[in-house]
Structure 1
Amino acid sequence: MRIGGYEFSEGARFQSGAHPNAKAVGEHLELLRKQFKGELTPQDVLADARHDNSPLHSFFEWDDGAAAEQHRLAQARGLIRSVVAIYVDEERVKPAVRTKMFVHVNEPSAPHYREASHAMSQTKTRKLVLQRAWGELQAWRRRYKDLKEFAGLFDVIDEAEKSIKYKN
């Protein structure tokens, strides 16, 4: 089989100023892959992108201060996503329950993180969280649709879809 074309994955986000030409990027990454004997690393991509004439150049922040700030923001998002709350029953009848402390609420005007139980107790934010979760599940399914080992899981997803209220 051969590659017939290129496109960016659904939901792909790029920094402002990037020139999202999937064909140019895909062809260039394929060229780099061949150049490195079939193996491509992020270091290889970054080294190539440092050149102004690379089609990958515009996808990176070259101002070191701004790049550092973006990296720190990514670290902050990772930190927020990593916290798990342990909820205990005050009467100690039920076992403790571990759950993510925060969920991402993708409100169009102001995306943010909210304490999970609060977000899920509000109709509007609950719908946004469930829509995002459903979209991520569907993206995962599309990504791995060709792996027959997951066929049974896909059947379960199809069955669950019948009762899901908050699909995109």
Structure 2
Amino acid sequence: MTGKQDKGKQIETELAKIKGNKEVINASDVVEWAKKHPKSALYTCFEWDDATAGAEHRLWQARRLIALHIVTVEGQRKTVSLTMDRAKGGGYRQIEDVVRVPDLRERMLQDALAELRRVRAKYNSLVELASVFAEIDKFDLPQEDVA
């Protein structure tokens, strides 16, 4: 087991401890627990410098604003964040521009399929969606580990 796997297991154990016998685990409980346990694996997952955390949160808010407000009259998004751009610091492209450039269109398709595979992994236990997941499998594109 690698260090990353060890840390992942440690985080899983800490989260299970926080949840205990409760029906749900609450994010605020996780943050509070981590704050009280600075030697924990969970503690290392958070940005504790308020200025840095505030700046990161405002960036997240800006991303949400772009996604929610640069839309068509029908409410469909007009921008897309491609993994190749996120690797270079992020940014959003107009979808109409992306679909006209073959390499960008291919990247958008790869990103979409990666997202669909993550959805499948999350909801794979719902047999009612098996036919939907089978359609995803029809794409003969190489699977990439896309964040």
State the TM-score bracket (shorter-chain normalisation). 0.7 to 0.9
Shift in CA distance, 110/42, structure 1 to aligned 2, threshold 3 Å: closer
TM-score normalised by L of structure 2: 0.81
The more displaced of 74-83 and 97-106 is 97-106
| 1:32 and 2:25 correspond | no
SS of 2:99 mapped into structure 1 = helix
Query: One-letter code of the match for 2:76?
Result: T
SS of 1:150 mapped into structure 2 = helix
Aligned partner of 2:77 among 100, 104, 110: 100
* Cα pair 1:48 1:54 within 8 Å, conserved: no
* Cα pair 2:80 2:95 within 8 Å, conserved: yes
- Which ranges of structure 1 fall in alignment gaps of 5 or more residues? 1-6, 9-19, 87-96
- CA apart distance, 1:37: 2.9
CA distance in 2, matches of 1:151, 1:116: 29
Structure richer in helix, relative to its length:
2
The more displaced of 102-111 and 75-84 is 102-111
* Cα pair 2:113 2:136 within 8 Å, conserved: no
CA distance in 1, matches of 2:63, 2:126: 31
TM-score normalised by L of structure 1: 0.72
SS of 1:29 mapped into structure 2 = helix
How many correspondences in the alignment?
137
Aligned partner of 1:139 among 106, 118, 139: 118
Query: One-letter code of the match for 2:12?
Result: G
Query: Which residue of structure 2 aligns with residue 47 of structure 1?
Result: 32
Percentage of identical aligned residues: 29
CA displacement 1:14-34 (0-9 Å, x = unmatched) = xxxxxx811110011111111
Shift in CA distance, 110/124, structure 1 to aligned 2, threshold 3 Å: farther
Query: One-letter code of the match for 2:96?
Result: S
Query: Which residue of structure 1 aligns with residue 71 of structure 2?
Result: 84
CA displacement 1:135-161 (0-9 Å, x = unmatched) = 0001111111111111222233334x2
The more displaced of 97-106 and 112-121 is 97-106
CA distance in 2, matches of 1:73, 1:66: 11
Within-5 A mapping of 1:1-168:
21-34=7-20, 37-51=22-36, 52-82=38-68, 83-86=70-73, 99-107=76-84, 108-159=87-138, 161-162=139-140, 168=144
Structure richer in strand, relative to its length:
1
Query: One-letter code of the match for 1:68?
Result: G
The runs of 4+ residues in structure 1 deviating greater than 4 Å are: none
- Which ranges of structure 2 fall in alignment gaps of 5 or more residues? none
Query: One-letter code of the match for 1:121?
Result: R
Shift in CA distance, 127/63, structure 1 to aligned 2, threshold 3 Å: same
Cα RMSD after superposing both structures: 2.3
